[in-house]
Amino acid sequence: MDPIEHLFRRESGRMVASVTRIFGVHNLALAEDVVQDAFCRALEVWKVRGVPENPSAWLMATAKHRALDVLRRERTGRTFAPELSRLIESEWTIASTVKEAFSPEAIKDDQLRMMFSCCHPRLREEVQVALILHILCGFSVDEIASAFLSGHAMIEKRVTRGKKVLASSKKLFDLASDDFSARLSAVHRALYLLFNEGYHGASPESAVRGELCQEAIRLTRMLLEHPFGATPASYALTALMCLHAARLPARTDAAGDLLSLFDQDRSRWDRGLADEGCCMLELAATGPVLSDYHVEAMIAAIHTRAPNTEDTDWAGIVHLYDVLMTLRPSPVVALNRAIAIAQLEGGESGLKAIGAIADPHRLAAYPFYWAALGELALRQGDRQNARGHFRAALVRARNPMERRFLEQRIEACENGSGAPRVSFPRS
């Protein structure tokens, strides 16, 4: 990969976090201006002189100088970070204070502080995710909108609302605070959602969504680098993301069509990521707490280790879904469990398990609920019913890839071709 690909976006998060630390979170907008200004300066120089050997250091140094300029120019008329105000006021300490704030260790902490601040309890989860993407991943509102397949106006509203709440909090989240573990759970959740958003929509037409998975993994790994952040649940979440991301290259065929787990060419799975996932899962296996991320990662690990769907440990998977149902019961988890039961015991048991889902109406809008019913009907040779279910799934499809996938299943019902299979929501 080109070393400077996504350079500005990547650096943006680090730079904004560090400048905000000095300016105070109420001056977030000013910090963003300083960073964008540093980018423009870099651009002016690099476009004719070429990119320097260490562009990250160059950018960070430029942001540091700009920040110092702004502090000197505005320190009489504006309040900056309250905890640093004395040090900024004095010409004796201002330069060393800024220098310290830009040291590699401080920068890492600042990014983490910013990540935790973005997951403010007053913000809805989708706002938290948009804010993380905007501030820490350097995505513009338009880029987020295209990644989320939603409108510019809606994302802009989320980002603006998020920034307002962020700016109204007195300072960035304190990593030594008592709220740390509660906030860490919120951070896990937001990163999990970010990953999911990318995973479900990753397709050739929307390359930006695949980047969401990469960003989620990058930020989760960042948690592991901090002594407080490296909890078993953080390792489990990293494992889960790596194991799923390992399957991304095989999720679509040459034509860009979605392939279910049953039809994927397993030789195209990313073995490096899969191994990292398994290694992370081992590191996660400490401490008294079994999080839902642990269980989901263990399920993903079983799939990754299996040579094909027939030789998959379905009994183990059903057991893990049972555990997941006690930790985080949801109709989607129940549906996945039913599909695993169908693999283990046959279609009839699968249908029975689907029928037993407590609140099926919550699944009505979920295309893979209908697709699972369709696959099980098809497996029993009931083409008529299968087609009806796939049609119901089709009208609920969320993107062109899902739509094409379901159209092909309908076709399979009509002309009798295509081996019966069970489609997985998270294949």
Binding site for another protein (CB under 8 A): 4-9, 11-12, 36, 39-40, 42-51, 138-140, 143
Rounded least distance, CB 6 to another protein, Å: 7
Q: Which is nearer to another protein, 147 or 187 (CB)?
A: 147
Q: Which is nearer to another protein, 47 or 361 (CB)?
A: 47
Rounded least distance, CB 134 to another protein, Å: 9
Contacts of 20 (CB under 8 A, 6+ apart): 27, 28, 31, 110, 114, 172
Rounded least distance, CB 31 to another protein, Å: 14
Quote the DSSP letter at residue 365: T
Bridge partner list, 8? none
Q: Which is nearer to another protein, 37 or 89 (CB)?
A: 37
Rounded least distance, CB 394 to another protein, Å: 34
Q: How far is CA 381 from CA 197, 257, 376, in A?
A: 34, 25, 9
Rounded least distance, CB 44 to another protein, Å: 4
Integer Cα distance of 334 and 369 in angstroms: 10
Contacts of 73 (CB under 8 A, 6+ apart): none
Cβ burial 81-119 (10 Å sphere, 16+ → b, else e): beebeebbeeeeebeebbeebbeeebbbbbbbbbbbbbb
Rounded least distance, CB 28 to another protein, Å: 15
Q: Residue 98: how many CA atoms within 13 Å on its side-chain side?
A: 24
Rounded least distance, CB 108 to another protein, Å: 19
Q: Which is nearer to another protein, 126 or 143 (CB)?
A: 143
Beta carbons of 13 and 105 less than 8 angstroms apart: no
Q: Which is nearer to another protein, 142 or 225 (CB)?
A: 142
The H or E element that residue 408 is part of is helix 400-415
Q: Which is nearer to another protein, 7 or 259 (CB)?
A: 7
Q: Which is nearer to another protein, 138 or 210 (CB)?
A: 138
Q: Which is nearer to another protein, 36 or 214 (CB)?
A: 36
Bridge partner list, 203? 206
Tell me whether residue 48 is exposed, middle or buried, using C-beta atoms within 10 angstroms of its C-beta: 0 to 12, 13 to 18, 19 or more.
Answer: exposed
Q: Which is nearer to another protein, 43 or 364 (CB)?
A: 43
Q: Which is nearer to another protein, 42 or 202 (CB)?
A: 42
**Tokens standing for 363?**
């699944």
Rounded least distance, CB 412 to another protein, Å: 41
Rounded least distance, CB 214 to another protein, Å: 15
Tell me whether residue 259 is exposed, middle or buried, using C-beta atoms within 10 angstroms of its C-beta: 0 to 12, 13 to 18, 19 or more.
Answer: middle
Bridge partner list, 206? 203
Q: Residue 338: how many CA atoms within 13 Å on its side-chain side?
A: 29
CB count in 10 Å sphere of residue 50: 8
**Tokens standing for 117?**
């601040």
Beta carbons of 11 and 56 less than 8 angstroms apart: yes
**Tokens standing for 424?**
């997985």
Rounded least distance, CB 189 to another protein, Å: 26
